Structures are given as structure tokens and as C-alpha cells.
Amino acid sequence: MTKEPVYDVAIVGAGTMGMAAGAFLAKQNAKTLLIDAFDPPHINGSHHGDTRLIRHAYGEGRQYVTLVKRAQRLWEELEQQTGYKIFEKTGVLGIGPKDSPFLQETIAAAQKYDLPLEILNGQEIQSRWPGFSVPDHFIGCFEAGSGIIYSEAAIRAYKETALKNGADLVSNTPVRDIDMNDANGIKISTDHTAFYAKKVIVTAGAWAAKLLPELSLPIQPTRKAVGWFDAPSDLFSGAKFPAFFIEDGDKKAYGFPNLNGAGLKIGKSDGGQSIDPDVHTQNFGLYESDEGDLRHMLQTYMPEANGTLNQGKTCLYTNSHDHDFIVDYHPDHPQVIFACGFSGHGFKFGSVMGEVLSQMALEGQSAFDISSFSLKRFK
């Protein structure tokens, strides 16, 4: 006689998407397990570094706009419900050549969904924000209603919500195997014990391919560097300078104003080193390009922010082969759901992905159209 599975849903990987899903599930009285190899929020995945952009007119594709609008509402609700500071409305400015495909898609997304987006020429950019230095043929796409998500505060808020509503969290416990054919349910094995669940959501980021080897997931963990540079607050403070992204051919960067004196934060969207996540460490400066590439972007576009390096960190992107998300049911075991390949632009969707994954687990489908994220597109 087999025993009933202990959990309705077990979530393997309690970072950005997993912690949010756990909060949504627990609030709906599902018996929920969250299990993570570390103690979230932590510095070993993709959610640390204090801040993330949230943009609504979406250059990665207008199919994301409905989701990001819902994400924005959920982040604001989380802030109201928990008291954590989650969202900062700094506005987001995208700059680059007028013919940049990314900026043109940003404009098209704004037009399709009637989103307020101000288009500026190079002189107008520099007049409004003297910290920028841009060529005359550049344009700016300024979205005043968007801004910054405080990433680690958001994880803490969802963690608190999940635990308050009865979820179990097992930290510092790497999952070694997920057995979908056990008589007692889905068996989740660690070094010391096993857990059983009726359904499992795998949101393990850079480790997803290792946990689901049979799927040959088309993802590549990539080491990325980000730095905070001393920048004069009269030009670059959050009250005077927007969050930003730069799309200039193969040079792609993003960043944040000087918040609380920490320095202007900048990272590169392109480049990075392919890496096994099991050997990833906080080793900013291992490559000359860690600091050098960031300084090159600052010297080119924001020379007065090219000051002393206050701190540098590394994080993991998990890039899918087409840089779109992968969210689907296991083709042979539909009681297993996986979400991965967020490709460096996923955090802003963490709130709505938590809602989506909880719907997939409890209702068998999401209320949102996520068909473009199916694994089948790679076949």
C-alpha cells in the first residue's frame, strides 16, 4: 500500500520565480514545499545585486507586454501587502541609434498597447540628463512610469508571504534527483532525505538542465559582471537620473542611478563567459573585461560616472538559445512543470511568473498566453 504524497506541490529552486510561485500556492492553501540549494535571497544565482529594471514597452518582443503589465501590478500589491520597498519609479531611458531593432520594437510595443513613451533626439537627451553623452543620431525612448524593482527585498517579501501562509522552506539543501516514476508520487532526493509531492515545479535557474537531463534543455549558464562606480550625485542620483539601457549594435548595457551613495550601477547584456553553475563564485576581476568592458561603456556614454569602482559582483544568466523564456509541462510527465532560460531579462516577470506557475500546477493551465514559451518551439 503506497502512502499519499506529502505535498501538493514541491518547488525545486526557491529563487526569483520559485519563491513567488510558493507564495501564490500557499495563499491558495496548497500544501507547498520550497527547496533550495542555498538560503534565498543569496548571491549564487540571478537575483542578487539589489536592483532590476522593469520596462513595459518591451524591446525583446511585444508578446511580453501583457505579462509585464500584470507583473507591475503584482509588485505594487506585494509592496502594499508586506511593507517592503519593492518598486521605485525612476523612469527608464533606452538610448541607441534610431535604426536599432530593439528600440524600434520598443516603440512598436508602446504603440500597440497604447503605452506612454517619449521619443527624444540626442540633444534632448543630453539637455534633460547632462550625465549622458550621446551622438546626434541617437534617439531616446523614455518611459516615465517604469523604473526599478528591489530584487532581494522582493524575494524576502515573497518568502515571508509563503511562510506566513504555511509553506515549508528547506534551505541549503541541493536536490540530487527528481524521480517521476516512484509509487509514492514524485520523489525529490537530497543528500540526507527524500520528499514526495503530487506535482513539482522546477525553477532552478542555471541548474535546470542538470535536474532535467532527459529534456536536453537548450540553455547555457553564463557568468556576467556588474559594477557600481562612484558618480556625482548632482548628475546621477535617483532623483535626477533614470534607470537606463543602451543598445548600440553589438554593445548592450543597462544600469541604474546612484542610489543612496552606492554608485552608478552598470552591467553588460552582451558577452560573458559560459560556465558550469557548480563552479560559479563571486570572483569579479578574474577577467580584465569584468571592469574594463563596464568602464568602456561609461567612458563612451556617461564619462562623468567613470569614477572609482566601489564594488563589483558576478551573477548567472541562463540564456535560452533564442533568449526567450522556456515555461512548459514535462512532455512525458505533465505533473512536472519547469521554467528556465530567462536570459537576463526575467526578474521583472518574477511576480507574474509566480502566478502563472501556480495556475499551471493547480488548474492545469495558465490564464495567460504562454504558448510562445513552449519547449516545443526548439524541435
Domain locations in the chain as residue ranges? 7-46+152-217+323-378, 92-144+220-320
Query: 376, 40 in Cβ contact below 8 A?
Result: no
Amino acid 3: pLDDT: 57
pLDDT in tens, 359-375: 999 999 999 999 999 99
Q: Is pLDDT at 142 greater than 60 in this prediction?
A: yes
Query: What CATH class does 92-144+220-320 carry?
Result: alpha beta
pLDDT in tens, 225-240: 999 999 999 999 999 9
Which one-letter amino acid corresponds to residue 17? M
Under DSSP, is residue 85 helix (H, G, I), strand (E, B) or coil?
coil
- 203 closest CA partner among 321, 361, 57: 361
Mean pLDDT, range 341-351, rounded to an integer: 98
What average pLDDT does the structure give for the chain?
97
- Asked if the domains 7-46+152-217+323-378 and 92-144+220-320 are classified in one and the same CATH topology, the answer is no
Mean pLDDT, range 297-326, rounded to an integer: 97
What does pTM read for this prediction? 0.97
Mean pLDDT, range 263-272, rounded to an integer: 96
- Distance between CA atoms of residues 298 and 305, nearest Å: 6
- Residue 78's alpha-carbon distances to 39, 72, 150, 260, 297, in angstroms, are 21, 10, 12, 23, 34
- Distance between CA atoms of residues 249 and 344, nearest Å: 18
Amino acid 1: pLDDT: 42
Q: How confident is the model at residue 188 (pLDDT cuts 50, 70, 90)?
A: very high
Residue 79, phi then psi, degrees to nearest 5: -60, -45
pLDDT in tens, 40-68: 999 999 999 999 999 999 999 999 999 99
Q: Which CATH superfamily, name and number, covers 7-46+152-217+323-378?
A: FAD/NAD(P)-binding domain (3.50.50.60)
Query: 48, 41 in Cβ contact below 8 A?
Result: yes
Which ranges in 173-248 belong to alpha helices (H)?
208-211, 233-236
Provide the percentage of residues in the chain whose pLDDT is more than 90: 98
Q: Is pLDDT at 272 greater than 50 in this prediction?
A: yes
pLDDT in tens, 5-25: 699 999 999 999 999 999 999
Mean pLDDT, range 156-166, rounded to an integer: 98
Q: Is pLDDT at 4 greater than 90 in this prediction?
A: no
